[in-house]
Copies of this chain bind each other. A is one copy, B any other.
Amino acid sequence: MTKDKLINNINFRSNCSISKTLDLLGDKWSLLILRDVIFFDAKTYSDFVRRPEQIPTNLLAQRLKKLVEDGLLEKIPYQNNPIRYEYIATEKCNTVKPILTAMKKFGDEHFLKA
């Protein structure tokens, strides 16, 4: 992935790094898909569908496509006849981990004890 590729097709609201990060990842599903790749070893379409949040399949397909376009995941064939793909974390994907870790800490603090 190039840096250019990461910023393709996004109308950034401002030059702020936080705002741009939210423009890239700030929907309710993209970060969960990356969580599944990074922490739960999810790779295939059915891995993602099986997760407890039960992402609708149309949204999963959209988000996977966009995450590949943005250089966060790589789509690799792992089987022929019929061809099947798996989604692998790129180096850039791993830089999302601190965001997820901070969210986990916030969630653990405010929800686990509730």
Contact = CB atoms under 8 A, between A and B. Distances in A.
Interface of A: 3-4, 6-7, 13-23, 26-28, 31-32, 35, 51-54, 92, 95-96, 98-114
How many chain copies?
2
B18 A26 contact: no
Given A26-B27, A28-B26, A53 B3 contact: no
Max chain B CB contacts within 10 Å: which of A3, A14, A22, A101? A22
Contact of A110 (B6, B22, B53): B6
Contacts of A103: 17-18, 21-22, 99
A31 to B, nearest CB: 6
B19 A32 contact: yes
